[in-house]
DNA sequence: CTGAAAGCGCTTACAG
DNA sequence: CTGAAAGCGCTTACAG
């Protein structure tokens, strides 16, 4: 204990925890000694005494590695300077012991809080369990599912609407949508937004031009094949994510269509593949790292370690590349 | 304490830590009670007393998200059942405080051990620091840099050699290599293996057909452009990783070349893009998840929690897809 | 504003 | 093979 060099260890503890009951002078003296000795309080001991650790959990069940990595970075951006660490907890919602497993994880580790990206964020059972064990959380989802203090809403529908208007403005009329799986909120939100965007331009999203995929490359191929085999095939396709959009590329190639000359394509996620496929894919960008930062900051606010947040809002943006072009009369 | 229901708390502790000094009957009785009550020892308290936590660290500075995610999974495959958790620690080797930062991280958290994938695994400074603070580690690298108990060797050269023989067997003679950056061990290993593989077929890797890239898409484009602009351009290119191979695709397209008819391409990593580009990319697969599993298991062995490992060896495999074809006389 | 006591839930020596 | 004591490094009430 740096106390030998100074006062008592109780006061040191007060300094560490930013207690107001320390004289300015005393605080400065102690702070100086601490940084001189390179002293850092032991997180395990603190955790034991607090009955709460300094660990943030990221519980995810997400197919996209880039999403997870970006989110991890964002969370760390927010909490690293405070000495928090990030425990990652991949899991599988379809596994029977999923709930019990996650629950025991957060309970055992006495997590400071957990960040829940889709689709675990949409699991109401899990949510109830977290409340029961008293573990703070932030849910990230396309629409609000909880009180604002515990949500990061990504407003996917806005990005989808922008994509729709973009295609409409290029003169397309036969416009198709490949949705994600029904069990994902984002599938519905992206579809809703897309329909709304078309409506903004006086167009309608026709049911026959809607196919349900699974957010996978293969499902993108399958859906696109069906669409392109129609009597009046679409001249533009909006895929619910980039994976499926890449599948549309494949199907278009097999059908002998050239993108964007014969078919315009838009994806969602603005992932790494967008710039690697040819032509580069127009896509909707979600600021994932920023979302992670905000989610973690909300945990800090809830824990009383931060006052409030600067930019608590997040919104998708359409990144126009070369996979979309003006409609050409056949 | 479950002691009320039974003996003393000391004995319970003995059971938890697998001490041999407990009678079989007593042990069974206690184990039964524990699982009945759903009792799990508090990792923070245990850590405090042990002066060592039950946390594994993954320190990485890696551009590929898929790599990191797979490795995380592999580590968890090995340690989850023992109640360990995984703390991720992305970092930047080029940052001036890199060493001090990582060091303070492992020291503060009293990590049970850390897993070091490339390129942090190749940092001798960091290695020294870890030894100084007494933190166990496993290094993952293309060649052996440490005692076997602390290494997972990926033998990249073998995979590169296989790629070379594959191209040679297809009849190619003007074969080029785009290397990764000089500071990565893997760059040299892949180059060495590739040269060896060509030598196995009586061919020579000509210096003029070697270009140094940076493991990025853009550098792949740049290097490929130079190669394809040569008087006697290569008919096959082996890129040091898939990112750069995707860059080769782009350059080939701009040069009006069709893959694999006019140019065969091989990548390294067998990443997700392989199956999404057209034609699907032939690539060298490294079993990353398995590597993570082995690395973590070695940490457990070192900690005395596991006897030994089943399959401690790992080797690359060539996955042949449609980006390579027999050489066509011009 | 500051200190002496008791405790967080476990463990390691030390005795039986 | 099993138990009573002291301690891991911090914190929370409780007194001054």
Q: Name B100's Cβ contacts closer than 8 Å, sequence gap at least 6.
A: none
Q: Name B74's Cβ contacts closer than 8 Å, sequence gap at least 6.
A: B288, B289, B290, B291, B292, B293, B294, B295, B296
CA distance B201 to chain A (A): 33
Q: What is the pLDDT of residue A310?
A: 67
Tell me if chain A has a CB within 8 Å of the CB of B53.
yes
Report domain A156-285's class. alpha beta
Which ranges of chain B does DSSP label H, i.e. alpha helix? 9-16, 24-37, 43-50, 65-79, 98-109, 124-133, 156-169, 185-200, 217-228, 242-254, 273-276, 288-302
Picking from A69, A89, A305, the residue whose alpha carbon sits closest to that of residue B89 is A69
The domain spans of chain B are 49-154+287-314, 156-286
Mean pLDDT in chain B? Answer: 93
Q: What is the pLDDT of residue B204?
A: 97
Nearest residue to D2 (CA, C1')? B11
Does residue B184 have a cis bond before it (omega within 30 degrees)?
no
d(CA B256, CA B228): 10
Q: What is the pLDDT of residue B8?
A: 67
* CB–CB contacts below 8 A, A to B: 93
Tell me if chain A has a CB within 8 Å of the CB of B86.
yes
Picking from A293, A40, A273, the residue whose alpha carbon sits closest to that of residue B106 is A40
CB B4 under 7 Å to nucleic chain C: no
Give the model confidence (pLDDT) of A247-265 as tens digits.
999 999 999 999 999 999 9
Q: Residue ranges of chain B with pLDDT lower than 70?
A: 1-8, 310-311, 330
Q: What is the pLDDT of residue B34?
A: 79
Give one DSSP letter per residue of B269-304, joined into a string. Answer: E--THHHHSSSPPEEEE--HHHHHHHHHHHHHHHTT
Q: What is the pLDDT of residue B23?
A: 76
CB A42 under 7 Å to nucleic chain D: yes
Q: What is the pLDDT of residue B5?
A: 56
DSSP state of A209: G
Picking from B220, B223, B241, the residue whose alpha carbon sits closest to that of residue B284 is B241
A49-154+287-315 and A156-285 in the same fold = yes
Q: What is the pLDDT of residue A86?
A: 98
CATH H-level, domain B49-154+287-314: superfamily = Response regulator (3.40.50.2300)
d(CA B278, CA B294): 34
Chosen for mutation from A39, A41, A42, A44 (greatest number of chain B CBs closer than 10 Å) is A44
Q: Name B40's Cβ contacts closer than 8 Å, sequence gap at least 6.
A: A104, A108, B83
> For strand D, which nucleotides have at least one atom less than 7 Å from a protein CB?
1-5, 7-13
Among all strands, which nt has the closest C1' to B48 (CA)?
D8
Fold of B156-286: Rossmann fold (3.40.50)
Picking from A184, A180, A171, A183, the residue whose alpha carbon sits closest to that of residue A142 is A184
In this structure, whether the domain defined by A49-154+287-315 belongs to CATH 3.40.50.2300 is answered with yes
CA distance B109 to chain A (A): 7
Taking chain A (330 residues) in consecutive chunks of 10 residues, what is each chunk's mean pLDDT?
Answer: 60 76 75 81 93 97 91 97 96 96 96 97 97 97 96 98 98 98 96 98 98 97 98 98 98 98 98 96 97 97 83 92 90
- Dihedral sign for Cα atoms in the order A305, A307, A313, A319: negative
């Amino acid at each position: 204990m740096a106390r030998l060099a100074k006062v008592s260890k109780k006061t040191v503890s007060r300094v560490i925890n930013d207690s107001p009951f320390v004289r300015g002078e005393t605080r400065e003296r102690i702070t100086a000694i601490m940084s001189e000795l390179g002293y850092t309080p032991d997180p395990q001991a603190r955790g034991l005494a607090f009955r709460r650790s300094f660990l943030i959990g990221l519980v995810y069940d997400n197919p996209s590695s880039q999403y997870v990595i970006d989110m991890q970075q964002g969370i760390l951006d927010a909490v690293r300077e405070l000495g928090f660490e990030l425990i990652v907890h991949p899991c599988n919602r379809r596994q029977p012991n999923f709930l019990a497993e996650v629950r025991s994880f957060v309970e055992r580790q006495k997590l400071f809080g957990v960040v829940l990206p889709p689709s675990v964020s949409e699991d109401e059972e899990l949510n109830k369990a977290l409340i029961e064990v008293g573990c703070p959380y932030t849910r990230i989802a396309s629409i609000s599912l909880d009180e604002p203090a515990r949500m990061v809403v990504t407003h996917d529908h806005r990005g989808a609407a922008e994509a729709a208007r973009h295609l409409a403005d290029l003169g397309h009329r036969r416009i198709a949508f490949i949705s994600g799986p029904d069990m994902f909120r984002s599938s519905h939100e992206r579809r809703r937004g897309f329909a709304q965007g078309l409506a903004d331009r006086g167009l309608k999203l026709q049911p026959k031009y809607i196919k349900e995929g699974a957010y996978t490359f293969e499902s993108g191929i399958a859906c696109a094949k069906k669409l392109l085999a129609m009597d009046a095939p679409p001249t533009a396709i909006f895929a619910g994510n980039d994976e499926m959009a890449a599948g549309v590329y494949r199907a278009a190639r097999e059908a002998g269509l050239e993108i964007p000359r014969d078919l315009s394509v838009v994806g969602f996620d603005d992932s790494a593949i967008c710039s690697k496929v040819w032509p580069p894919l127009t896509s909707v960008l979600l600021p994932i790292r920023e979302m992670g930062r905000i989610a973690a900051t909300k945990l800090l606010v809830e824990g009383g370690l931060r006052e409030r947040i600067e930019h608590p809002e997040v919104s998708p943006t359409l990144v126009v590349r070369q996979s979309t072009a003006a409609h050409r009369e056949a």
